[in-house]
Chains A and B, each alone.
Chain A
Amino acid sequence: MKTLMSNTLRAAGMLAAVLATSAVMTGPGNAAGGEPIHIEREDWSFGGFFGHFDRPQLRRGFQVYKDVCAACHGLSRVYFRNLAEPGGPMFDEASVQALAKDWPNQITDGPNDEGNMFQRPAKLSDPIHGPYKNEQEARFVNNGAYPPDLSNIIKARTIENHDAWYAHVFKMGRDILTGYQEAGADYVHALLVGYTDPPSGFELSEGMHYNKAFPGHQIAMNPPIPPEGAVEYQENAGAKSSLEQNARDVTAFLAWASDPSLESRKRIGWQVMLYLLVTTVLLYIAKHRIWARVKKR
C-alpha cells in the first residue's frame, strides 16, 4: 500500500515538473503590448573586457557635442578639466583652458563685494553647462520639450528585452560571459540615425518627428545631424564626416562622459582577476595537500 502511494506520489511529482517546464515554454513572446523595437548591437572600441576609448574618436565626438548637441543639451556633471585627464579625449590643457574661456554658457558666480551675482567665463574647474538656466526655461524655449543633460545619458538608457523566457536565459548567460554593457550606447546611436519618414497611416503629432528607435516613435528633438554630417572634421581627425560617423563619434564621447573611469576600471579589473586566479590555484593545491592526510583514514 505504502509503495503504491509512494509510486503515485513520485509520478505526480514528475508529471508536475514536466508540465510546469513545458507550460512555461509555450509562454508569451511579448505580452507587454506594442511591437518590440529592434536595436542593432554595434561594435564599440570601449566594449568588452579589453575595451578602451579611441582617442581621436572621443575628440571628434566632443566636436559634434560642441557644435550640435550643446545648442540645447548641457553636460554639467563633466568638468572642463576632465577633457584633459587620462582616459578621456586628453586635449592638451592649454586648449581646454581656451575652450572653457570661450564657452558660451558662462558660470554664475558670486555674490561679489556689492552683494550681486555675476557672470564670468568658465575655468578648468567648472562644469560644462548647457544654454538654459533651468528646466522651465528649457521647456519654454523648446515648445514644452525638455532636452536632458547628457552627462549620464549612455548609462541612463538601455534596450528593452522582448525575448521569450528561454531566449532570455540564453542571452543573459552570453551577456554576462562577454561583459556586454553597451546597450545605452547602442540605443543612443540607433536614435541618432533612426529618423525616417513615418510609415503610411502613422499619426504624427504637431511638431514631432518620427524615429525608429524611440519608444512610441514620436520624438520632439529635431533630427540633429543631417545625412551628410553636421560638422566638418579636420584633415587629421581620422574619419570623414557623415551622419553615421558623427552619430558613432558623439555616442563614444558621451559613453566616456557617463563613465570616465572605464579604462582604469577594466585595467584594474584584469590585475584583480590575475591575482584572484593565481591565488585560487594556490588555494586549490593547498586544499588538496591538506585533505590528502584524511582521505583514507
Chain B
Amino acid sequence: MAQHESTYVPKSATARWWDERLPLMRLLHDSFVDYPTPRNLNYLWTFGGILSFCLVAQILTGIVLAMHYQPSAAEAFNSVEHIRRNVNYGWMIRNFHAVGASMFFIAVYIHIFRGLYYGSYKAPREILWILGVLIFLVMMATAFMGYALPWGQMSFWGVTVITNLFSSLDGIFPGLGTAIVEWLWGGYAVTGTTLNRFFSLHYLLPFVIAGLVVLHVWALHVAGQNNPTGLDIKTKSDAVPMHPYATSKDLLWMFIFLIMFAWFVFFLPDYLGHADNYIEANPLVTPPHIVPEWYFLPFYAILRAIPDKLGGVIAMFAAIAILVFIPWLDTSRVRSTKYRPIYKWFFWLFAFSCLALGYLGSKPAEGVYVFWARIFTFYYFAHFLLVMPIVGILETPKKLPRSITDAVLGGKGDGSGGAAKPKGAAAAPESR
C-alpha cells in the first residue's frame, strides 16, 4: 500500500521548493490524504484516530497540569486541590486529564478487540500488532504512575501494593526482588522520592508512546489496513482514498466518542475514580479495600487468582506478554472471525471472560470470587494456548467473498465456484 504511486502535486513555487528539499507535504499527502483504504471499513476502524486524539489530549492537558502541580509528598495533594479550586478552569483541565485516562483505555480495549475479532494480527501485520502490544504496555505503566500523582490514599496504597509485587522475584533469585523494589521506591518505603521519579517518568513515557505510535502507523501503512472481510485490496474498486472517505467516518465517530467523553468530564467526573483518593495519602492508615483503576481490574483478578505470589505476578505479566505471540498461535487460514463459525463462539467467550475478570478484580479476593477468577483466568490463557491453535486447524471456514467489492455490493459469487475455497481467496496468511 505504501508503495502506491505518489499523487502529490505541489501547488505553488514555495511548495515545489520545499518538496525538492524536504518532501514532508508529500509524505503527509500520500499517508493521510490519498492513502488507499478498504472501502468496507466499519466504525470499529475509527478507533485508531480516536486513540491518536486521546494521546494528544492527554499530553496537552498534562502539560498544563504540570505547570500547577508539585511533585512532593508534602505538596502533591494540596497542589491538586489548588488546581481544582483556585486555578482558572483548573477543574476542567484536571477532569479532562483524569477522565481522559479512562477514555483512552475504553478506546484501546475496543481497538484491541477489533483487531482480535478481524484477525488484524495475522500476516503480514505481525510487527504492527506487536508494536500495538508495546504501546498498550507503556500506556499501562504511564497510567499507573499518573494515578500515583494526586497522592491520595488510593494513589499511595495502589503504588505500595503493585510495587511490592516485584519483591516476589526473590523467589527466583534471592535479593533480586528486594533490589528492584528498593530501586523503584528510591528507598525502603513508598515516599516522596517515589512520587518524584513517578512524576518524571509519567512526563516522559507519553512521548515514548508517541514514538511507538509513529512506528505503529508506519507499519500499518506498509501492510495496509485490514478490513471486516480480512481480504486484501486487490483491485482499485476495493479501496477509496483516505480523505475524504475514511476521514469523514473518523471525524464523525470521534465526535460521538467526545460526547461520551464530555458526559463524564462534566457530569460524572468522579464516577471512574475512587472516593478514597480525596483523602490525602497516609502511610499509617490502610483503606479497607485497595482496588486499582477499572482498566487494570482484569489483570488484577488474574494476579490474585493464582495462590502463589510469584506465580500471580508471572501470570499477570504473561497475560499481556502472550498477546505478542498470537500471530503464530492462531493457525486459522482466514483472518476475519466473521467467516469462522466455531471460533466465533470462543471469541465471545473470551470477551465475556475479560469482563468477568474485570468484575471479579473489583471484588475482595475471597470465597467464591476466587473460584470464578481461577476459572476465567484458566480460560484467558486457554483461549490463546489451546483454542487458537486447535480450532484454527479443525474448523472449516465459511465461504469468503471473492473481493472486498463483492462483499460490499453483495457480489453474486455463489455457484461460480471461484471463491468456494477460502484457500483460493484469502491468500496472505498462507503465503507467508
Q: Which residues of B contact A277 (CB under 8 A)?
A: 259
Contact A10–B341 (Cβ < 8 Å): yes
Tell me the B101-115 residues at the A interface (CB within 8 Å).
Answer: none
Identify which of B62-70, B270-278, B297-305 touches chain A.
B270-278
Contact A269–B266 (Cβ < 8 Å): yes
Known contacts A10-B341, A269-B262: A181-B271 contact under CB 8 Å:
yes
- A151 and B345 CA atoms in complex are apart in Å by 51
Q: Which residues of A contact B191 (CB under 8 A)?
A: none
For chain A, the bracket of interface size reads 35 or more
- Chain A CB count within 10 A is highest, among B268, B270, B342, for B342
Is A36 interfacial (CB 8 A cutoff)? no
Contact B248–A176 (Cβ < 8 Å): no
Tell me the A1-25 residues at the B interface (CB within 8 Å).
Answer: 2-3, 5-6, 9-10, 13-14, 16-17, 20-21, 23-24
Other-chain contact of B345, A13, A273, A280 (Cβ < 8 Å): A13
Contact A156–B279 (Cβ < 8 Å): yes
Q: Which residues of B contact A151 (CB under 8 A)?
A: 81
Q: Which residues of B contact A118 (CB under 8 A)?
A: none
What are 27 pairs between A and B in contact, CB < 8 Å?
Answer: A2-B394, A2-B396, A6-B394, A9-B390, A10-B342, A17-B345, A17-B348, A20-B349, A20-B352, A28-B368, A31-B368, A33-B366, A156-B279, A165-B359, A175-B271, A181-B267, A181-B270, A261-B85, A265-B95, A269-B266, A269-B267, A273-B263, A276-B262, A280-B255, A283-B251, A291-B248, A297-B237
- B275 to chain A minimum Cβ distance, whole angstroms, is 4
Q: C-beta contact mask, B300-339 vs A, less than 8 Å → 1, else 0? A: 0000000000000000000000000000000000000000
The residue in chain A whose Cβ has the minimal distance to the Cβ of B282 is A135
Is A290 interfacial (CB 8 A cutoff)? yes
- A3 and B348 CA atoms in complex are apart in Å by 22
Known contacts A9-B391, A21-B352: A31-B366 contact under CB 8 Å:
yes
Is B424 interfacial (CB 8 A cutoff)? no
Is A226 interfacial (CB 8 A cutoff)? no
Tell me the A96-153 residues at the B interface (CB within 8 Å).
Answer: 148, 151-152
- B75 to chain A minimum Cβ distance, whole angstroms, is 13
- A248 and B364 CA atoms in complex are apart in Å by 33
Q: C-beta contact mask, A215-259 vs B, less than 8 Å → 1, else 0? A: 100000000000000000000000000000000000000000010
The residue in chain B whose Cβ has the minimal distance to the Cβ of A175 is B271
Is B411 interfacial (CB 8 A cutoff)? no
Contact B262–A77 (Cβ < 8 Å): no
Is B417 interfacial (CB 8 A cutoff)? no
Q: Which residues of A contact B267 (CB under 8 A)?
A: 49, 179, 181, 266, 269
Contact A13–B278 (Cβ < 8 Å): no
Q: Which residues of B contact A152 (CB under 8 A)?
A: 81, 278-279
Q: Which residues of B contact A258 (CB under 8 A)?
A: 278
Tell me the B359-390 residues at the A interface (CB within 8 Å).
Answer: 359, 363-364, 366-369, 372, 375-376, 379, 390
- A197 and B237 CA atoms in complex are apart in Å by 79
Is A194 interfacial (CB 8 A cutoff)? no
Known contacts A14-B345, A290-B245: A3-B396 contact under CB 8 Å:
yes
Is A27 interfacial (CB 8 A cutoff)? yes
The residue in chain B whose Cβ has the minimal distance to the Cβ of A161 is B362
- A266 and B267 CA atoms in complex are apart in Å by 6
Contact B271–A176 (Cβ < 8 Å): yes
Q: Which residues of A contact B265 (CB under 8 A)?
A: 269
Contact B251–A168 (Cβ < 8 Å): no
Contact B395–A32 (Cβ < 8 Å): no
- B412 to chain A minimum Cβ distance, whole angstroms, is 15
Q: Which residues of B contact A184 (CB under 8 A)?
A: 275
For chain B, the bracket of interface size reads 35 or more
- A277 to chain B minimum Cβ distance, whole angstroms, is 7
Is B117 interfacial (CB 8 A cutoff)? no
Known contacts A261-B84, A272-B262, A284-B252: A157-B342 contact under CB 8 Å:
no
Contact B353–A276 (Cβ < 8 Å): no
Known contacts A14-B345, A77-B85, A268-B92: A156-B276 contact under CB 8 Å:
yes
Q: Which residues of A contact B342 (CB under 8 A)?
A: 6, 9-10, 13
Q: C-beta contact mask, A15-55 vs B, less than 8 Å → 1, else 0? A: 01100110110011001110000000000000001000000
| Interface residue SS majority, chain B | helix
The residue in chain B whose Cβ has the minimal distance to the Cβ of A285 is B252
- A26 and B395 CA atoms in complex are apart in Å by 33
Is B415 interfacial (CB 8 A cutoff)? no
Is A56 interfacial (CB 8 A cutoff)? no
Complex A-B, nearest 9 residue pairs according to Cβ-Cβ distance, in ascending order: A269-B266, A13-B345, A156-B278, A158-B275, A31-B367, A179-B267, A155-B278, A287-B248, A283-B252
- Chain B CB count within 10 A is highest, among A14, A16, A157, for A16
- B101 to chain A minimum Cβ distance, whole angstroms, is 17
Tell me the B219-278 residues at the A interface (CB within 8 Å).
Answer: 237, 240, 244-245, 248-249, 251-252, 255-256, 258-259, 262-263, 265-271, 275-276, 278
Other-chain contact of B262, A9, A273, A294 (Cβ < 8 Å): A273
- A118 to chain B minimum Cβ distance, whole angstroms, is 24
Is A95 interfacial (CB 8 A cutoff)? no
- B70 to chain A minimum Cβ distance, whole angstroms, is 15
The residue in chain A whose Cβ has the minimal distance to the Cβ of B369 is A31
Contact A265–B91 (Cβ < 8 Å): yes
- A17 and B376 CA atoms in complex are apart in Å by 11
Contact A260–B85 (Cβ < 8 Å): yes
Q: With contacts A21-B352, A152-B81 known, what are 18 further pairs, Cβ within 8 A?
A: A6-B395, A6-B396, A9-B342, A9-B390, A13-B342, A16-B379, A31-B367, A33-B366, A77-B81, A155-B275, A155-B278, A156-B278, A157-B275, A265-B95, A265-B266, A268-B266, A269-B265, A277-B259
- A17 and B342 CA atoms in complex are apart in Å by 12
- A181 and B92 CA atoms in complex are apart in Å by 16
Other-chain contact of B349, A17, A157, A268, A296 (Cβ < 8 Å): A17
